[in-house]
Structure 1
Amino acid sequence: MLKNFMTQDALAGVFRKQQFPFRFPPAANRAAWSREGSRFREVSFPLYLKKAEEILGKDYAEIYPILKAGEFFSYVRTGNRRIFETSYFTRRSHLALFCLAEAMEYRRRFLPAVVEGIWQLLSEPVWYLPAHGYYRENDPMPRFDLPRTDLFCAETGATLACVVRLLEKELTAESAELLTWVREFCIERVIVPVEEERVHEWWLDGLNNWGPWCASNVALTAFTFLRDQPERLARLILKLAECCDSFYNRYAADGGCDEGPGYFMVAGIRLMLFLDLLNTYTGGSCNWFYTQEKFRNIGDYIAKVHLTGPWFACMADSVAKFDRLNAGLLNHFAELSGSARLKSFAAEAAFGFQPRGTGGIPDRFSEKGTFLHLVLLDELAQIFWAPDPAARGSFPGEGRTVLPDLQFYLFRQNPEKEEPGSILCIKGGHNNENHNHNDVGEFELFFDGKPVIIDCGATDYTKFTFSERRYENRFLNSSGHNVPAFNGVLQAPGAEFAAGHRELLADGVAIDIAGAYPKECGVTSCVRRAVLTAEGVVSIEDTVSGKGTISVELPLYCAVKPELTPAGIEISGMRLKLRGIELERLEEIPLEDVRMKLSWGDRLWCIHLQTTIEKSGTCRLEFQPVS
């Protein structure tokens, strides 16, 4: 498809005629940056400027923290990623913020800080993360002879490309030679490793979100710094197009992102950004791509897995809660795909999913007064591609959402009302999905906008997260999810460990999850039946069959402390009644993990249930709204 859309010679011919205008107005275009009438600008510009002013008053050593060798080495030595990455992303975030502030105010007040930020990035030994380098055995310094373009090397190139495009006139007045350095560093560090591939860049195979994420950023870097080399540019762009083609072809027809909602903004959205660049700079040659149902489904996915308020179905290595989705990127995808659903969702995202008539545009910097990762390209999209607030509520809600390929099912009691009532979701799938958690059969339950039974989500990434030791982490294996263990045996990783027969019911779904477990668990069938009634009652029923005596242990994770009452277990306005299974204990789980605390605060609770079945039996959980 994409890789064959044009020959290299033809593409180079198109590029020879191109001026490659930036996708967003440069700061010198004061009419564009001063335009009034956008509520987003009226509210957000003062927030950007206020934050930039706060940071500008600090010492440069604090604004652009030193990247220390010991912190880089800690990845190999201890497995810690956060200590280095915090400083790394802070440097880039502050550079992006100062660029935006200068473009908004245009008084050269922030320009010295922009120059300093560029200087600091040019001074870094490498632009990729420690977790993504190539190493010799027992040596924490990455190999000099094997440079690579990882996610954030590519993103650094794209950030510098945006800095140059946004403030080229102003930076040239400061130092034209500085821009030469930026160009040469970006070509050498971002583009050449992709061209030469001393070691094959596996992301070029389009296996997961790395493909379009890297490709879109490398493309933006190339369209900025290889504008005068059309043949070289064409060769590179076709290579990146083949990568995105592979990624797209691997995507299921229903548009489901098996990496989870938390990865959508760096998966499906990045595919859209690559296509947007390619289409813009080839005179609309990819317009046909936008009309495909699958492309529209990829964008609609994020709206389909939205639960309520800031909460999303917490699949794979996703976080559960994010109220600052980039509404501009979502809106642009909607405009390209023609999706009314996504356009309405983008407008809700612009207001932080708050009820209509309350609140306003969320402060993007209110998370404990700081931010970790501000991307200049994304913020420009947030400003110039912002949705029309009038689109809010224009797409009707759905009582039942089904993604058949992803095997994700979502049921709502009140799909078109402000009071959401009960919301139930459950997944089937297999245990070789990207960022897999061995969680076939996992369900989540919300009531009136509050979490009742949750998927805990992923923990901070370490050296071991993507190693053979991945499933040693409680929250990355089935013991950290709302699925049973049989005779002490958990689900196993691998595509062969998968959901079996599935049946859509009038008010729910039934999934046989026994295939996700090794045979030694002793179970031949476990049909999990998940039902939501019109009255908001949710039942989860596991019908188990196997050999001999089967012990069943079922954990249920909660974001608030369950209250044990004579009438049942009360959680967030719902009462849990048990049949065929008993409460064994209630566990309080203090949280130290930074990533999990962003969604859940300082602690979680786990309701441990257990029973014993002779050959076959049924366990039933019934959640009733407390009147």
Structure 2
Amino acid sequence: MGLKNQWAAVGAEERQRAVAEARARVGVPDLQNREVWDHRDPAAVAAILNEAAADRAKPWPHTLLSEYARYWRDGVRTAYEDPAGEVRRRTRTAVLAAVLTQEHVDEAADGLLLLCEQTTWCWAAHESFATARHEVLGDPDEPYLDLGAAETAEILAWADLVLGPALDERVPGSRRRMRREVRQRVIQPFLTDRRWHWLGLDGHLHNWNPWIHGHVLTAALFLESDAVEVVDLVVDGLDRYLNAMPADGGCDEGYAYWWNGPARLAEAIELLDRITDGALDPWSCPPLDELARYPQRMALGDGWYVNVGDGPARPDPNQPWHVLHRWGRRHQDSDVMAHAAAHRDQPIAPASGLGRALVGLTDDTWWNAAKAELPLPRSTWLPDVQLLVARNDSGLTLAIKGGHNDENHNHNDVGSFIAALDSTPVLIDLGQPTYTALSFSDRRYEQWVVRSDWHNLPLIDGHEQPPGSQYRATDLKVNNNSLSLQLSHAYPHAPDYRRTAALEDVITVADEWTGDHQIEQHFVIAGTPVSLDPHEFVVETLAGATARISWDAGTGRLETRGVDDPLLESVWGPVVHRLIIDTEGNSFRLTVRRGERP
């Protein structure tokens, strides 16, 4: 039974009761319950209090119109998003510190009111209402409900739940103001406007759906006197997203966005589970069990992950691992729990969400879990998203994808692969650049990192892969640790072109094509070049191992490109390299193996 049908089966009277009693049933008490808050994990508490103390030594950040307007003027998003995000992070941290100590409530109240006084909670890149008016300022009377608005409402809602008595005592009227702002900017637009693209009513579902729906759910349950209509609509939206998830548990947006897609879905479902006191059985809904396994399937080890689309290969390790641990407990999946527990030493991260931090702090089973070894599956094949990840005992990992070129957060990368040695990628996918006005515009593919000629792919008669769902892999064949796929439909006017990638003792990538065509192979490489011979390139990986990349025919040349994007540089360093090989005949074969240290 799907989520929507389960919710309906609870019955109208019990649904009304669950919503009305949500604040008590959620299991996170307010700051007056010292039996809970005085006995939280000491290391987690110390990290939060140290962060809050450091914040109090600095003035609050300011959000300025001139910085907001830069999105329209020169395409820069971060000038406004960074300080706006810092206000939210600092407010979350102040709320947590106040809950944990019953002190510095005024600091939290200052942050909450600063949020209430912002003209808009919407990020400039999403403010299509202002764009349509040919303006650069959000209109409080026509608020746009985006991620920024939803995240801000979530902060106010959880803050009201846990600080309510202290806010009433220290700053009477602040909670009424918070409710008014959330109702006007989030609840009312959600109820009255069904144009929001993230609802997925057109069949296109992506991570905004559970991300925003989950925050709307929290805001309605904690701040609204009658939230049944809102909750019904939220359940309908979450059900739509869940039904769109591939049965294999894959995520075409990649591992980094998994935390703000499927993981947000799981958090919203958990909230529904808590307020219904077991009357719901949401964890039986497919493919929730498979979705929980995605992080371990994509892990390379040592903080590296298989990254597809807009995702960093080395994401922030400080994720809300307790969310995944509870998810694994719901399914009694020991590998999922072990993957989460392998990161048990990571602190609670206020930046990832106030609700996440509060629920995580009160999850005693998580804090009592022993740190585990990272479980790395030998081989994973995800047929719906067409992604193979295979590992061997020699420290080599191969990941190769099929798919198409209209995926969420798409890069033109059909048939591209990643080769890693001792967990560290050496033949790489560059991943996510810093977002600008180009990132989600019709000029997206002017960005070098999303184009196929900066992926591990050929140019065919000088042509790259274009964007569009019609450009896709076909005739896929999987055999143990190998994937063979036809790439002729991934390029315009391409010949019959087959790529086969396999992992045995070494990684082998073999291409074959028909006819007389100019095939120029491109391979993107991270690390320090050691030597380049006519048919072999030796590179020291970012972790200091030696990889030998060999090919059977054609002349290779090496290009070096400076990485002038701070997000990319934080992963790959100041330069990356591109090995270009002009092929001969109708076939090409490349191998990657461990080399001796020079």
Q: TM-score, normalised by structure 1?
A: 0.88
Task: Pick from 468, 471, 491 the counterpart of residue 445 of structure 2.
Answer: 471
Deviations 1:98-137 (A, max 9, x none): 112222233x1x2221111112111100111111111235
Pick one of 14, 29, 32 that aligns with 2:33: 29
> Following superposition of structure 1 onto structure 2, how do residues 409-488 of structure 1 map, counting pairs within 5 Å?
409-414=388-393, 421-488=395-462
Shift in CA distance, 340/29, structure 1 to aligned 2, threshold 3 Å: same
Q: Does 1:46 align with 2:7?
A: no
SS in 2 for 1:315: coil
Aligned length: 578
Are 1:529 and 2:500 matched, yes or no? yes
Q: Does the alignment pair 1:186 with 2:182?
A: yes
1:299 corresponds in structure 2 to 292
CA contact (8 A) 1:275 1:286 kept: no
5+ unaligned residues in a row in structure 2: which ranges?
Answer: none
Superposed displacement of residue 344, structure 1: 0.7
Show the counterpart of 2:588.
619
Give the match for residue 258 of structure 2. 264
Q: CA deviation at 1:425?
A: 0.8
Deviation at 1:55, TM superposition (A): 1.6
1:570 alignment partner in structure 2:
538
Measure how far apart 1:26 and its partner are.
2.5
Corresponding residue number in structure 1 for 2:521: 554
Contact map agreement 1:92 1:375 (CA 8 A) in 2: no
Kept after mapping to 2: 8 A contact 1:485/1:554: yes
The 1:16/1:608 distance shift into structure 2, 3 A limit, reads closer
Deviation at 1:44, TM superposition (A): 2.6
- 1:410·1:426 contact (CA, 8 Å) conserved in 2? yes
Deviations 1:377-432 (A, max 9, x none): 22224423336543613x85422111111111011113xxxxx7111111111111
Cα distance, 1:144 vs structure 2: 5.1
- The amino acid that maps onto 1:316 is G
2:137 is the alignment partner of 1:141: yes
1: CA distance between counterparts of 2:199 and 2:383?
Answer: 28
Displacement after TM superposition at 1:314 (Å): 0.9
Encode CA deviations 1:565-623: one digit per residue, 9 max, x unaligned: 55831122111111123213x2222222122123222222222222244xxx1111111
Is the alpha carbon distance of 1:11 and 1:437 closer, same or farther for their aligned partners in structure 2, counting shifts above 3 Å? farther
* Equivalent of residue 405 in structure 1, options 362, 367, 384: 384
Shift of 1:141: 2.2
Pick closer, same or farther for the CA change 1:174–1:396 going to 2, 3 Å.
closer
Are 2:509 and 1:510 equivalent residues in the alignment? no
Alpha-carbon distance change, 484 to 171 in structure 1, aligned in 2, over 3 angstroms? same
Q: Does 1:79 align with 2:75?
A: yes
Structure 1 position 592 matched with structure 2 position 564: yes
Question: How far 1:326 moved relative to its partner?
Answer: 1.5
- Mapping 1:237-252, distance limit 5 Å: 237-252=231-246
Aligned match of 2:111: 117
Q: Distance in 1 between matches of 2:269 and 2:407?
A: 25
Partners of 1:268 and 1:437 lie apart in 2 by 20
Unaligned runs of 5+ in 1: 351-360, 366-370, 415-419
Matched with 2:164 is 168
Determine if contact 1:128/1:153 at 8 Å carries over to the other structure.
yes
Separation in 2 of the partners of 1:309 and 1:270?
25
Residue 11 of structure 1 contacts residue 234 of structure 1 at CA under 8 Å; is this kept in 2?
no
User: What TM-score, normalized by structure 2, do the two folds share?
Assistant: 0.92
Cα RMSD of the aligned pairs, angstroms, is: 2.1
Amino acid in structure 1 at the alignment position of 2:579: I
Query: 3-state DSSP class of the match of 2:178?
Result: helix
Instruction: Look up the SS of the partner of 2:340 in the other structure.
Output: helix
Quote the sequence identity (%).
Answer: 25
Judge conservation of contact 2:465–2:490 (CA < 8 Å) in 1.
yes
Q: Which residue of 2 aligns with 1:331?
A: 325
- Looking at structure 2, the residues matched to 471 and 565 of structure 1 have their Cα atoms a distance apart, in angstroms, of 31
Q: Deviations over 1:468-507 (max 9, x none)?
A: 1111111111112111110111112222211111112244
Question: Is the contact between residue 319 and residue 352 of structure 2 (CA under 8 Å) also seen in structure 1?
Answer: no
Whether contact under 8 Å (1:96, 1:374) holds in the other structure is no
